[in-house]
Structure 1
Amino acid sequence: MDHLFTVDGGSATPVAPTALAAEGLLERQHLQEWVITHPQVLGESVLVITSEFDRWADTDGVPARDRLDVLGLDATGRLVVVELKRGTADRDVHLQAITYAALVSRFDLDTLAQAHRDFRKGRGEVLELDECRQRLLDHVDGDWSPELLQRPRQVIIAANFPKQVTHTVVWLSEMNLDIDLIQVGLWKVKDQLVAGFTKVYPTPEVEEFTLAPARIEAKAAVEKLEERTQAQKAVHVLVDAGLLPDGTRLRLVPRHGAPEPIRQAIQEWVREDGKRGTATWSNNTCNPLTWDADGKIYSPTGLAKHVFTSVTGRKVDGIRGTTWWDVDTSLVPEAVDPSEWAALAGIDLARLSRQHNGTSKDWTGLHTLLNAVPAGRWTTYGDVATVIGSHAVPVGTHLATCGQCPNAWRVLNAAGRVSPGFRWTDPTRTESPADVLAAEGVRFDAGAADPGLRLSVDALKSLLGN
């Protein structure tokens, strides 16, 4: 970013840049931590394996004081070597990056797993070596490739780059080395520091014409990665929005990536053992499915691939597993309104996530809204969800488990009836929500609340001043 402004209507005021050193920010304690915490600045789907790595025991003539700032692994199976400079990069910074790339190109899965275990241990997370090895394997889309591992991508992050560096990096790219230059900028807006990371080389236009062999190989892998990314995004949407309660039952319906003959073979295979076609959902962004057939946890795509391989005997790429799993609405989770749950019939995980992408589970707005619902009036799960930008199912689940929601008894189902899933968070309360509403002046006819006392979506919005 060359220019940064604070904006007040039609007025824009330039913000003067500052520097990490001027603000007392350090390379290791600050810049490095930003990258570790937010590895997306290094590219799509990068897992940080380690930082400050200096165990070069198997190399000759490399002193232990040489420390690799950050080492990552992208989802295509390539290592990412990161060199950090909080100020202007040294004139030979690219040589440091190349040296580290050469050293890590000798690493194998076990070396990387050991480095990751030590790194996580230093950050307070104790993992077994096998867990670390599996984490690396799971992060890579497709088969682990030792050949691709030998071609690390290099990323140099600095406040500025001398022309000597940029010119050399351009030439090195033309000579088939894969190097990215990322500029870190810092601005001070009042008392708040704002950092920005801008990729200055290669630009998208240049990248089209300077693809090193390793990047060409990675490009093919990226196409497969996009399928996986879509599935990951779907899972994140579902978990972040709280759209499915833990324990939600799912049914297998093979779709994306499986030709019709294989779909039929899978369905026949499931008929032999019904447990093969069902799974249980948990709000875990990595492996949210527990398969009934073996009790193990999987990602939606991971389990779809496992099923495909079990039936056909061969591996498969390009499956979007979130399309394979439908919500089983015949089994209503506790605390969920059955009338709202029925609306999910026939919906797979991918479609559900698309319908509700952007839904939030920050319940501050819900609490504020419910607090404003007056005695003698009622509303519905669906209308409340519409106003706060959520969905009726997570709203109902939250009301049943929160313990802090005001006036929760004033929320009924679309028919004006108390949801069968309603639970008082105070176990000593024995009266029904209908009794409380009746005492507040809400009339009931055959178990349904007076529709004339229902607050509409517009009325709810007005309570919030919208």
Structure 2
Amino acid sequence: MDHLFAVAGRLATPISPTGLATEGLLERQHLQEWVIDNPHVLGESVLVITAEFDRWADTEGVPARDRLDVLGLDATGRLVVVELKRGTADRDVHLQSITYAALVSRFDLDTLAQAHHDFLASRGQAVELDACRQRLLDHVDGDWSPELLQRPRQVIIAADFPKQVTHTVVWLSEMNLDIDLVQVGLWKVETHLVVGFTKVYPTPEVEEFTLAPARVEAKAAAQKLEERSRARKAAHVLVAAGLLPDGIRLRLTPRHGAPQSIREAILAWAGEDARRATATWNNNTAKPLTWDADGKPYTPTGLANHIFKSVTGRTPDGIRGTTWWDVDTDDVPSAVDPMEWEALAGVSLADLAKQFSSARKDWTSLHTLLGAIPSGRWTTYGDVASVIGSHAVPVGTHLATCEQCPNAWRVLTAAGRVSAGFQWTDPTRTDTPADILAAEGVQFDGGAAASEARLPLQTLQRLLDS
């Protein structure tokens, strides 16, 4: 309130404002008690759980010194973190509030019930712990939601706020963090003191016309950032795992970020020149795609954006380009099991990265496993990959050039045949893996090794574990 008057009929006499410190009123003993006794100043239907809470500890069990002024629970099931200042708020008061919000966001129902029990006991109210727990459950309008507890609402009450605080709180609110600024004022009317609480931010108008649109924009921006991060991560995953050999072809299949009508227009445009629909993969995290139409390197999203704009004349918004490019399985790399390669048909770069995000180019376990395969037995690229946490494609690519892989000839395709890309590291050798396996007793029928000599997957796992 900017002005307060004492009214006697037609006479309105101004009442002079005063301050809590001026009147000898304290933050904890007075302001805090006013809030506890009148929780509606914090919003509708707020139950005070505790005050002066300091019973948290850091990861080493050392009690924290921070003391939360008031903690409430509103009827929606959200916690309300309250920070009190009897004078002008400190320039970093919002940081204190955020710290408390982060701490209480890890609380569960049992923690809150115990805090409420201890709070009531300290005020002379003997209430059983189970009753405190039920009181919290009953206060919430609907089911108890642990997810809502992770997003506390914050209320900062002070006599005034510096611009640094207000500007920061406005931005944080636009970023979808709920912080209310409540101004406490004190007036002296003859021998009586009058206190008032005024919510200065956000006002209903700000919430409706400013915060709501800003939060929609913030959510869209966060989603765009997440999509771009996923796209970059996908390329890094594929390169790090060696999932795709250099030089393989990718085919354009417009998906994410383009409506059906534009997808059809893009495919029609690509049909006018076959080079527009294909790209070559290179294991380069910066720009792994080389577009056949112009020979230039791109990121998957960069090329998808370029194609989108070329067709529509518009700048795209939020395309995740790794969903636009599928492995072309018509051209099988020589070092890869054809059946394993065929299984990648219709799989996008994004799907590949998601499926094999844990695969890595660490071949130590592969070398250990190969060395343990006994004479007269064979296995497949797929089974080896499954045991070591990789994929058949990079396993085959690695074996084709590895000079340190023992018993590499014991790894065959899923059909039991020697891979077309198999080659000895010693170029003078003229025998074949089939010759060696046959000499060890493995039977071959039409070029395929007998399934009886194939190691079961469980046996392979035991060989690696031992």
- Per the alignment, do residues 175 and 425 of structure 1 end up closer, same or farther by CA in structure 2, a change over 3 Å counting? farther
Equivalent residue runs for 1:170-189 within 5 Å = 174-177=165-168
- Residue 251 (1) aligns with residue 251 (2): yes
Tell me the distance in 2 between the aligned counterparts of 1:173 and 1:237.
42
Shift of 1:179: 13
Equivalent residue runs for 1:197-346 within 5 Å = 207-209=177-179, 220-346=220-346
Shift of 1:339: 1.9
Superimposed CA distance per residue, residues 132-157 of structure 1 (whole angstroms, 9 cap, x where no aligned partner): xxxxxxxxxxxxxxxxxxxxxxxxxx
Tell me the distance in 1 between the aligned counterparts of 2:426 and 2:344.
30
Equivalent residue runs for 1:426-441 within 5 Å = 426-441=426-441
- Per the alignment, do residues 2 and 424 of structure 1 end up closer, same or farther by CA in structure 2, a change over 3 Å counting? farther
CA contact (8 A) 1:335 1:423 kept: no
Equivalent residue runs for 1:114-153 within 5 Å = none
Please report the TM-score for the alignment, with normalisation by the length of structure 2: 0.56
1:209 partner letter? I
Tell me the distance in 2 between the aligned counterparts of 1:171 and 1:378.
75
Q: Which residue is equivalent to 1:449?
A: 449
Shift of 1:234: 1.7
Aligned residues: 290
Tell me the distance in 2 between the aligned counterparts of 1:343 and 1:275.
24
Tell me the distance in 2 between the aligned counterparts of 1:400 and 1:243.
14
Q: Which residue is equivalent to 1:458?
A: 458
1:174 partner letter? V
Q: Which residue is equivalent to 2:406?
A: 406
2:356 partner letter? H
Q: Percent identity?
A: 64
Shift of 1:357: 2.1
Shift of 1:439: 2.1
CA contact (8 A) 2:176 2:218 kept: no
- Per the alignment, do residues 418 and 173 of structure 1 end up closer, same or farther by CA in structure 2, a change over 3 Å counting? farther
Tell me the distance in 1 between the aligned counterparts of 2:304 and 2:231.
12
Tell me the distance in 2 between the aligned counterparts of 1:223 and 1:463.
45
Shift of 1:175: 2.9
Tell me the distance in 2 between the aligned counterparts of 1:92 and 1:437.
77
CA contact (8 A) 1:173 1:179 kept: no
Tell me the distance in 2 between the aligned counterparts of 1:369 and 1:253.
38
1:251 partner letter? R
- Per the alignment, do residues 381 and 173 of structure 1 end up closer, same or farther by CA in structure 2, a change over 3 Å counting? farther
- Residue 415 (1) aligns with residue 415 (2): yes
CA contact (8 A) 1:254 1:323 kept: yes
Superimposed CA distance per residue, residues 122-181 of structure 1 (whole angstroms, 9 cap, x where no aligned partner): xxxxxxxxxxxxxxxxxxxxxxxxxxxxxxxxxxxxxxxxxxxxx9xx96663324999x
Shift of 1:284: 1.5
CA contact (8 A) 1:338 1:420 kept: no
Q: In angstroms, what is the RMSD of aligned CA positions?
A: 3.4
Tell me the distance in 1 between the aligned counterparts of 2:170 and 2:445.
72
* Rg (Cα) greater in structure: 2
- Per the alignment, do residues 427 and 207 of structure 1 end up closer, same or farther by CA in structure 2, a change over 3 Å counting? farther
SS at match of 1:344: coil
Q: Which runs of 5+ in 2 are unaligned?
A: 1-55, 63-89, 93-157, 181-201, 203-209
- Per the alignment, do residues 178 and 407 of structure 1 end up closer, same or farther by CA in structure 2, a change over 3 Å counting? farther
Tell me the distance in 2 between the aligned counterparts of 1:279 and 1:173.
51
Shift of 1:463: 0.9
Tell me the distance in 2 between the aligned counterparts of 1:250 and 1:293.
13
CA contact (8 A) 2:380 2:414 kept: yes
CA contact (8 A) 1:305 1:315 kept: yes
1:282 partner letter? N
Shift of 1:378: 0.6
Q: Which runs of 5+ in 1 are unaligned?
A: 6-13, 16-90, 94-166, 181-201
Shift of 1:3: 4.6
1:398 partner letter? H
Tell me the distance in 1 between the aligned counterparts of 2:463 and 2:447.
27
Q: Which residue is equivalent to 1:349?
A: 349
Tell me the distance in 2 between the aligned counterparts of 1:387 and 1:320.
32
SS at match of 1:416: coil
- Per the alignment, do residues 209 and 248 of structure 1 end up closer, same or farther by CA in structure 2, a change over 3 Å counting? farther
Tell me the distance in 1 between the aligned counterparts of 2:176 and 2:220.
18
Tell me the distance in 2 between the aligned counterparts of 1:434 and 1:178.
72
Tell me the distance in 2 between the aligned counterparts of 1:391 and 1:179.
49
- Per the alignment, do residues 410 and 220 of structure 1 end up closer, same or farther by CA in structure 2, a change over 3 Å counting? same
CA contact (8 A) 2:91 2:164 kept: no
Shift of 1:394: 0.8
- Per the alignment, do residues 395 and 171 of structure 1 end up closer, same or farther by CA in structure 2, a change over 3 Å counting? farther
